[in-house]
């Protein structure tokens, strides 16, 4: 591509099918629409919004609501256009040319992408063969190379494994660099595993959260970081002004203030996850234990296209040249559609 920096030669323009029909189980979104009460709230307030003015660049009301929900100080929170923007901002704020970034593999693809875009050097640490974290291998890399940044996706996308809190603490103690614990899917863990309560103890910890999953606001694009004030200042130093539009700020503030509604939906997903996992196992597919709103599994490649023909969309991902599949947990009806289709295809 003309003009593209040499360093970016492996990158391709990002594309993702915009699906609005069928059984959409490929992007780990919430299958539940936002509550009618939120839609009504947006309608009531839309006339009051001063759209001719810029939005509150500090997202003050939203940050106040988040800090209240997690019992942290407002200055320990910042918001981004999805947690994607915050991953980018963190790396932009601290990486010098070729600084090293520890990235477990497979994990969320944007860690490597933003590392590259910010001139860093990713060090991939493979998960074990059962797709759980290889904590010893991670510790060894930390001791030997002291990467500037370490990513821990907890629960991990796409495999659903988790890292216990004690191990995260061991890594925080071992590392001189920043440890980013991405809790995009924490609401779906069987037990609370958040390390937000540790932010006052470790000045190298940043926790990322998002409204795109359990909070059903993927379309609004909003995520947040919680950390000690010094690290929040670091992110805010490079964060673009006015990043969150006023509609998003309004919707997300309502959502966090009514979080019990979304937590109840997350519980439904957790119980459906067990149902879908059992169903997949009964059909003979190899699944991996998941603490998230999706299941990582092995299946023959033909199923992917056959499901697509029936407008059932799941995600295919290659790891070391072998294809694996990630299926998002849907509503009970959607999960039934999936399992019935697979049963028919098995015949």
Ligand X SMILES: Cc1ncc(COP(=O)(O)O)c(C=O)c1O
- Which residues form the interface with ligand X (CB under 6 A)? 28, 82-84, 108, 153, 157, 182, 184, 210, 212, 218, 223
- Strands 100-105 and 149-153 come out as parallel
Q: Which two tokens stand for residue 18?
A: 């915009």
Is the CB of residue 98 less than 8 Å from the CB of residue 116? no
> Which residue's CB is nearer to ligand X, number 157 or number 335?
157
The least distance separating ligand X from the CB of residue 151, rounded to whole angstroms, comes to 9
The least distance separating ligand X from the CB of residue 183, rounded to whole angstroms, comes to 8
> Which residue's CB is nearer to ligand X, number 156 or number 175?
156
Handedness of CA 308, 310, 314, 317 (dihedral sign): negative
The least distance separating ligand X from the CB of residue 81, rounded to whole angstroms, comes to 7
The least distance separating ligand X from the CB of residue 146, rounded to whole angstroms, comes to 24
CA 52 vs. chain centroid, Å, equals 32
The least distance separating ligand X from the CB of residue 252, rounded to whole angstroms, comes to 11
332-336: which pairs have CB atoms within 8 A and are 24 or more residues apart?
Answer: 332/268, 332/272, 332/275, 334/23, 334/25, 334/31, 335/272, 335/275, 335/276, 335/279
Is the CB of residue 307 less than 8 Å from the CB of residue 296? no
> Which residue's CB is nearer to ligand X, number 182 or number 334?
182
Q: Which two tokens stand for residue 250?
A: 């309004």
Report the residue closest to ligand X, judged by CB. 82
Matching residue, tokens 């940043």: 206
> Which residue's CB is nearer to ligand X, number 106 or number 223?
223
What SS3 class is residue 176? coil
The least distance separating ligand X from the CB of residue 208, rounded to whole angstroms, comes to 7
> Which residue's CB is nearer to ligand X, number 84 or number 334?
84
CA 126 vs. chain centroid, Å, equals 19
The least distance separating ligand X from the CB of residue 111, rounded to whole angstroms, comes to 8
Handedness of CA 223, 218, 329, 109 (dihedral sign): negative
The rounded distance, in Å, linking the Cα atoms of 193 and 207 is: 12
> Which residue's CB is nearer to ligand X, number 108 or number 341?
108
> Which residue's CB is nearer to ligand X, number 108 or number 188?
108
Is the CB of residue 308 less than 8 Å from the CB of residue 19? no
The least distance separating ligand X from the CB of residue 144, rounded to whole angstroms, comes to 26
Per DSSP, the residues of 230-291 read HHHHHHHHHSPTT-S-HHHHHHHHHHHHTHHHHHHHHHHHHHHHHHHHHHHHHTT-EEE--S
> Which residue's CB is nearer to ligand X, number 113 or number 182?
182
């Amino acid at each position: 591509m003309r003009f593209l920096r040499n360093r970016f030669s492996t990158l391709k323009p990002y594309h993702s099918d915009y699906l609005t029909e069928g059984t959409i189980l490929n992007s780990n979104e919430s299958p539940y629409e936002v509550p009618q009460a939120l839609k009504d709230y947006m309608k009531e307030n839309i006339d009051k919004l001063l759209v001719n003015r810029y939005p509150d660049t500090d997202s003050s009301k939203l940050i106040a609501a988040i800090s209240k929900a997690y019992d942290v100080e407002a200055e320990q929170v910042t918001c981004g256009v999805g947690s994607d923007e915050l991953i980018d901002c963190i790396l932009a704020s601290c990486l010098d040319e070729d600084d090293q970034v520890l990235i477990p593999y497979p994990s969320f693809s944007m860690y490597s992408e933003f590392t590259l875009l910010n001139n860093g050097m990713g060090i991939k640490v493979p998960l074990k063969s059962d797709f759980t974290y290889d904590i010893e291998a991670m510790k060894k890399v930390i001791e030997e190379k002291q990467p500037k940044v370490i990513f821990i996706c907890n629960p991990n996308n796409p495999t659903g494994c988790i890292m216990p809190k004690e191990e995260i603490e061991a890594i925080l103690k071992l590392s001189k660099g920043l440890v980013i614990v991405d809790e995009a899917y924490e609401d779906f863990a069987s037990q609370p595993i958040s390390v937000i309560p540790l932010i006052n103890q470790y000045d190298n910890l940043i926790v990322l959260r998002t409204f795109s999953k359990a909070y059903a606001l993927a379309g609004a694009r909003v995520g947040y970081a919680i950390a000690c004030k010094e690290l929040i200042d670091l992110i805010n130093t490079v964060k673009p002004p006015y990043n969150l539009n006023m509609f998003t700020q309004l919707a997300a503030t309502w959502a966090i203030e009514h979080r019990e509604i979304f937590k109840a939906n997350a519980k439904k997903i957790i119980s459906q996850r067990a149902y879908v996992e059992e169903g997949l196992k009964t059909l003979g597919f190899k699944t991996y234990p998941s603490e998230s709103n999706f299941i990582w599994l092995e299946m023959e490649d033909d199923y992917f296209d056959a499901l697509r023909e029936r407008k059932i969309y799941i995600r295919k991902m290659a790891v070391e040249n072998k294809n694996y599949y990630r299926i998002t947990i849907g509503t009970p009806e959607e999960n039934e559609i999936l399992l019935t289709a697979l049963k028919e295809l098995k015949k």
